[in-house]
């Protein structure tokens, strides 16, 4: 019924969209406050985040980074339908080169790191690894060395890299100084081997000059309701 109603209104030239929740409204206000003009969408999957902020009204540049080949093809097709949005088939991290990534049936849980325990597999039957893929890796500093004009933008960095977020931050030693805000996925319990947890990440970002503005529920077990991950929104203090 929802799709029938939506299609009827589209024929009348009216586009129906979901009203932004409190977290989205706050983020949009912060985008305007800091005059964000470039969003780096790291761990883009098939473009969900980019589409979300476009639907919220953000009209600036988006660069989406996605290492998995199948997901990148879908993402790249999507970005070509939008102005000021492009996709790059690479995994950001702390080295330039190539790495092996664990590909999960539920692709959003794919990670360069190995799964640490059974939290995800117990919560979601399709979170298990079904294969591996060799992907190109690059640091953010290397990226900006190639595209230095982008450093003139007011940059917002979204990180969703399944435990690899601290490696991406480490690879942005120089360019992070140009970042105004960060949205980052943080684990409360260790889901991937070697990842740093919420408290340590909070301290790390605080030491780098970013203050916590908002927290949103992330990954949780739908059976036990145990919370495993949260999304943190940080901006320059």
pLDDT band at 123 (very low <50, low <70, confident <90, very high): low
Residue range 23-195+205-236, CATH number: 3.40.50.150
Do 102 and 129 form a contact (C-beta atoms < 8 A)? yes
How sure is the predictor about 105, in pLDDT bands with cuts at 50, 70 and 90? confident
With a cut of 50, say whether residue 6 has pLDDT above it: no
Per-residue pLDDT at 121: 65
Dig out the tokens for 205 from the structure: 């970002």
Q: State yes or no: pLDDT of 8 exceeds 70.
A: no
* Residue 180 half-sphere exposure toward CB, CA atoms < 13 A: 17
Rounded distance between C-alpha atoms, residue 146 and residue 129, angstroms? 34
Per-residue confidence (pLDDT) for residue 19, from 0 to 100:
54
Q: 108 pLDDT exceeds 60?
A: yes
List pLDDT tens digits, range 27-56: 999 999 999 999 999 999 999 999 999 999
pLDDT above 90 coverage of the chain, percent = 76
Domain ranges of the chain: 23-195+205-236
Average pLDDT in the 214-224 region?
Answer: 90
- Other Cβ atoms less than 10 A from the Cβ of 44: the count is 26
Q: What is the mean pLDDT of residues 69-75?
A: 97
């Amino acid at each position: 019924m929802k799709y029938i109603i939506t299609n009827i209104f589209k024929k009348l030239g009216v586009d129906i969209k979901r009203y932004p929740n409190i977290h989205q409204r706050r983020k949009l206000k912060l985008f305007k406050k800091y005059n964000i003009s470039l969003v780096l969408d790291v761990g883009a999957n098939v473009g969900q985040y980019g589409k979300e902020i476009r639907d919220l009204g953000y009209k600036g540049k988006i660069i989406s980074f996605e290492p998995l080949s199948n997901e990148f093809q879908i993402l790249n097709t999507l970005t070509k339908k939008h102005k000021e949005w492009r996709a790059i088939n690479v995994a950001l991290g702390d080295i330039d080169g190539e790495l092996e990534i664990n590909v999960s049936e539920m692709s959003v849980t794919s990670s360069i790191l190995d799964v640490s325990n059974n939290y995800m597999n117990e919560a979601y039957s399709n979170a298990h690894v079904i294969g591996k893929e060799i992907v190109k890796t690059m640091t953010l500093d290397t990226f900006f060395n190639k595209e230095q004009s982008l450093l003139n933008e007011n940059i917002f960095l979204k990180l969703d890299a399944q435990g690899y977020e601290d490696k991406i931050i480490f690879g942005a030693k120089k360019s992070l100084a140009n970042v105004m805000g960060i949205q980052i996925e943080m684990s409360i319990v260790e889901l991937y081997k070697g990842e740093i947890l919420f408290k340590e990440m909070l301290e790390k970002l605080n030491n780098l000059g970013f203050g916590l503005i908002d927290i949103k529920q992330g990954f949780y077990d739908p059976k036990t309701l145990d919370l495993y991950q949260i999304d943190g929104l940080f901006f320059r203090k």
